[in-house]
Structure 1
Amino acid sequence: MAATAPTKQSMLSLYASMLRASRTFSSYNFRQYFVRRTKSVFQEIKDEQDPVKLRTFYAEKKKELDVLKRSAIVNQLYGGWKLVVEKQSPVRERADS
């Protein structure tokens, strides 16, 4: 039986889901790392034609997506202070000062 590769649409959907999950981290460093990592991993496999490699890649990344989602939830529970590089709302002055 020939190995069928995942469709281009399913790969793009997985890519979008991983980026979406990566952007839900409350910690700036984790968020940036997982976004960069997702982009680079999918960039490497972009021109692959071997259906077996593509199917293996898809299965691994599907599992990784589940782990990424769970990790993001835990990170949101224990999120810390925002860093200087993150966009922050300006500090408002008191009216009676």
Structure 2
Amino acid sequence: MAANITKNQVLALYKSMLRESQKFPNYNFRAYALRRIKDAFKASKTLTDPKIIKKEFEFAQQNFALIKRQVVIGDMFRTDKLVIENLR
């Protein structure tokens, strides 16, 4: 990975993580993942040091891979929808 992470790369990763998190079959996991992603990216928005930005970007990529794996596992062990989900 290049030392300079572009804004477009960060936005693409952010959108990919949000999209993938929407695939969680469990409402609680889905809501938690979306909230954590938004909070983490918002907290990192003001970073200026390229080394820290690169470190945070790599951490986000690892979490994206984790989300993808967890979505697959969640699909294998699907449960009934919660009451809150049936209200939609």
Tell me the TM-score normalized by structure 1. 0.83
Unaligned residue ranges in structure 2 (runs of 5+): none
Aligned residues: 87
Task: Return the alpha-carbon distance in structure 1 between the equivalents of residues 66 and 82 of structure 2.
Answer: 25
Q: Alpha-carbon deviations, 1:7-49, whole Å to 9, x = none?
A: 0000000001111111110000000000000000000001111
Q: Which of structure 1's runs of 4+ aligned residues deviate more than 2 A?
A: none
Task: Return the alpha-carbon distance in structure 2 between the equivalents of residues 14 and 81 of structure 1.
Answer: 30
Tell me the TM-score normalized by structure 2. 0.91
Q: Which amino acid aligns with 1:33?
A: Y
Unaligned residue ranges in structure 1 (runs of 5+): 90-97
2:44 — aligned with what? 45
Secondary structure in 1 aligned to 2:84?
coil
Task: Return the alpha-carbon distance in structure 2 between the equivalents of residues 87 and 45 of structure 1.
Answer: 35
2:35 — aligned with what? 36
Give % identity. 34
Larger Cα Rg: Structure 1 or Structure 2?
Answer: 1
